[in-house]
Chains A and B, each alone.
Chain A
Amino acid sequence: MTVAITTRLAALVASLVAASVLVFVIVNLLPGDVATVMLGTNATPENVAILRHQLGLDQPLWLRYVQWLWGMLRGDLGVSVLSHTEIGPLLVQKLLVSGPLALLAAVIALVVSVPVGVVAGVRYRRLSGAIISALSLGGIAIPAFWAGLLLATIFAVKLRLFPAGGFIDWSEDPVAAARSLVLPAVALGLVQAAVLTRFIRSAIIEVQHEDFIRTARAKGLTRWQALRRHGFRNAAIPVVTVLGIQITSLLVGAIVIENVFVLPGLGRLLFQSVGNRDLIVVEDLVMVLTTVVLVVNFLVDLSYRLLDPRIRSRR
C-alpha cells in the first residue's frame, strides 16, 4: 500500500513538472515574445525593451522557468501586467466565487444522480427506467451554458426569481451572493447529473448480474438488501472513476458558465486575461487549473484502493 502510494505520488510530481514545462513552452516560445504580444502592433522597440526587462524576459529561458516554478511553489504567482495586482491574492479572491459554485454544482449533481441512477439501474427493464435513461441521454447532449441561458430566460427574465447575472460580494450581502450562484450551479449540476446518472445506472445493472448478488438473493435477501450489502460498494468503483473525470468537466463547465452569468470567478478571470493577452495571468491560471485536475486524478486513484481491497492488495 505505502509503496503504491509513493509510486503514484512520484508520478503525480512528474506529471506536474511536465505540465508546467508544457505551459511554459507554449507561452514563451511563441513567435515574438510575451512583451511584444502584450504591447500589440503599435509598440515601439523601446517600450518592448522596457517591458522585457520588467518581466525579466532578457534572462535565459531556463532561469525564467525555474524562477516561475519556484515562485509558484512559494505561492508567489507574480504580478498581473495589466492590472498591476498580485496574482496570488487575486486568485484566492476569485476562488471564493468559483469554489462555492463548483461545490454547489457537484452537490446538486450527486443529489440528483445517485437516487435517480440507482432507480434507473434497478428498474432498467421497466418503463420508468427507460424514461430516466432517455432523459439522461438528452441531458448529456445539452451544453451547460445553454442550460444556463434557458434557466436565466425563465427564472431571471420571466419570473424574476434570481438574478440573470452579476455577483454581490459575500462580505456585502451573503444571501444575495448565494442567490447569484443558484442558477449557474443548477445549470452546471443538472448537466453533470445526466452524465453521472448514466454511469450509475450501468454500474448498477452490471453489478446485478454478478454471481455474488445471485448468491445473496439465493440466501433469501431481497433485491434491495442484496444491493445495499454487496452491490453499491462494487458499483461505486466505476462511478468514482467517472466522478474524477467529471470534476475536470465541472471545472471547464464553470469557466464557461461564469461567463454566462458574469460571475467574477476564476473562469471569468481566465477569459478576460485571454482577451487582454495578460499572459502571465493566463500562464498561472492554466497551471493552477491543471494542477487541480492532476491532483483530483491522483485522489481518485487512491480512493479505489480504499473502496476495493482487491486493488489494495495488488502490487
Chain B
Amino acid sequence: MRRLPLPLIAGAAVVGLVVLVALLSLVWTPHDPDHVVIPDRFQGPSSAYLLGTDQFGRDELSRIMAGARNTLLVGIVTIVIAIAVGVPVGALSALYRGPLEEVFMRASDVLLAFPAILLALLFAAVFRPSTVTAMAAIGIAFVPVFARVVRGAGLQVMEMDYVTAARTFGSRGWWILLQHLLPNVANVLIVQATIAFAVAILAEAALSYLGIGTPPPTASWGRMLSDSQDYLYQAPLLALWPGLAIALSVLGFNLLGDGLRDLLDPKLVVRLPAQA
C-alpha cells in the first residue's frame, strides 16, 4: 500500500475535528451559546468557562463550537454553488469548444476580476447584507475558477484515444460528458474544492467581521472578532480564540488540499487569491 502523504493525514485530522465539533455543537455545548449572563461578563478562562465569557457573559467555548457550524455551512453552500454552475460551464466548453467556449471563458475572465469580498459588498449594498448574500457572492466568485479547472482538465480528456473511439462509435455528447469527462475531472475538482473551502472560510470571516455576513445573534467567528475589538483593554483574549479557530480550520483545509493533490496528482489546480 502507498504511504499516505503527511499533510493529508494532518489536514484530515484537523478538518475531522472541525466537523466533529460542529456536529457535537448541534446536540451538546458546555453552555447555551446564546444564553446571556450579564453578571458573568468578561470572565477569564476558568473551570466553569474554559475560554471565558464575552461582553454578554456568553460562554466563549460554546460560541466557538456553534461558530464551526456556521463556518462549515457557508463553506459547503459556496462550494455547491461554484460546482453547480462552474462544472457545467467548464465541461460544456471542453466538450463543444467553438463560440460557446469563447463566450463562457470570456465571461469567466470578467467574473474573475471581481474578488469575492467586492462582490459581497456590492450584493450587500443592493440586497441588504445576510448570510445568503455572503454565500452567494463567495460562491459566484468561485464559479470561474471551477469552470476553468474543469475546462482545462476536460480538454485533456477530450484528446484521449478512448474519447475518439467513443466518438467513432457514434456516442453522443452527453454520454461522453457523463461517461468519460466528469469521472476524469473528479480528482482535480476534489482538490480544487478543498482549497476553495479554505478561501471561503477566510472570506466569510472577513465579511462577518465587517458586519455584512452572518448577522447576530448567530455565532460566527468573524463577528466574534469584530465584537472583541471593542473590548481589547478589558478582555484581549476574546480577540484570540475565534481567530485561532479560523486559522486552524483554514490550515486544516489547506493541508488536506495539499495532501489530496499529492495523492491524486492533478496537474491543473487554480490558486485562489486569499480573501482577507
Contact = CB atoms under 8 A, between A and B. Distances in A.
Interface of A: 11, 14-15, 18-19, 22-23, 26-27, 30, 37, 137-138, 140-146, 149-150, 152-153, 157-158, 164, 191-192, 195, 242, 245-246, 248-249, 251-253, 255-256, 259-260, 270-271, 273-275, 277, 279, 282, 286, 289-290, 293-294, 297
B273 A256 contact: no
A146 B210 CA distance: 12
Contacts of A248: 115, 273
A138 B233 CA distance: 27
Interface residues of B, number: 49
Nearest to B207: A256
B66 interface: no
A223 B271 CA distance: 30
B152 to A, nearest CB: 15
Contacts of A256: 117, 206, 209-210, 276
Given A137-B255, A149-B229, A289 B250 contact: no
B274 A149 contact: no
Nearest to A279: B125
B246 interface: yes
Given A153-B236, A274-B212, A282-B122, A252 B225 contact: no
A259 B210 contact: yes
Nearest to A191: B274
A19 B273 contact: no
Across the A-B interface, the 4 shortest Cβ-Cβ residue pairs:
A249-B273, A146-B243, A141-B250, A141-B251
Interface of B: 106-107, 109-111, 113-118, 121-127, 129, 198, 202, 205-206, 209-212, 225, 228-229, 232-233, 236, 239-240, 243, 246-251, 254-255, 271, 273-276
Given A141-B247, A145-B206, A152 B232 contact: yes
Contacts of B233: 157
Contacts of A277: 125
Nearest to A146: B243
B115 A143 contact: no
A248 B129 CA distance: 23
B104 to A, nearest CB: 13
A252 B250 contact: no
Contacts of A152: 232
A143 B232 contact: no
A193 to B, nearest CB: 12
Given A15-B113, A141-B198, 7 more contacts: A26-B123, A142-B250, A143-B205, A191-B274, A256-B117, A273-B125, A282-B122
Contacts of A143: 202, 205-206, 209, 243, 246-247, 250, 276
B198 A293 contact: no
A229 B99 CA distance: 44
Contact of B113 (A164, A274, A294): A294
A252 B118 contact: yes
A153 B206 contact: no
Given A157-B232, A157-B236, A149 B225 contact: yes
Contacts of A259: 209-210
B246 A146 contact: yes
B115 A18 contact: no
Contacts of B228: 149
Nearest to A22: B110
27 contacts: A15-B109, A18-B110, A137-B251, A140-B274, A143-B206, A143-B243, A143-B246, A143-B250, A145-B225, A146-B205, A146-B247, A149-B225, A149-B228, A191-B274, A246-B274, A252-B116, A252-B206, A253-B274, A256-B209, A259-B210, A260-B229, A277-B125, A279-B125, A279-B126, A282-B121, A290-B118, A293-B114
Given A26-B126, A271-B121, A286-B122, A249 B212 contact: no
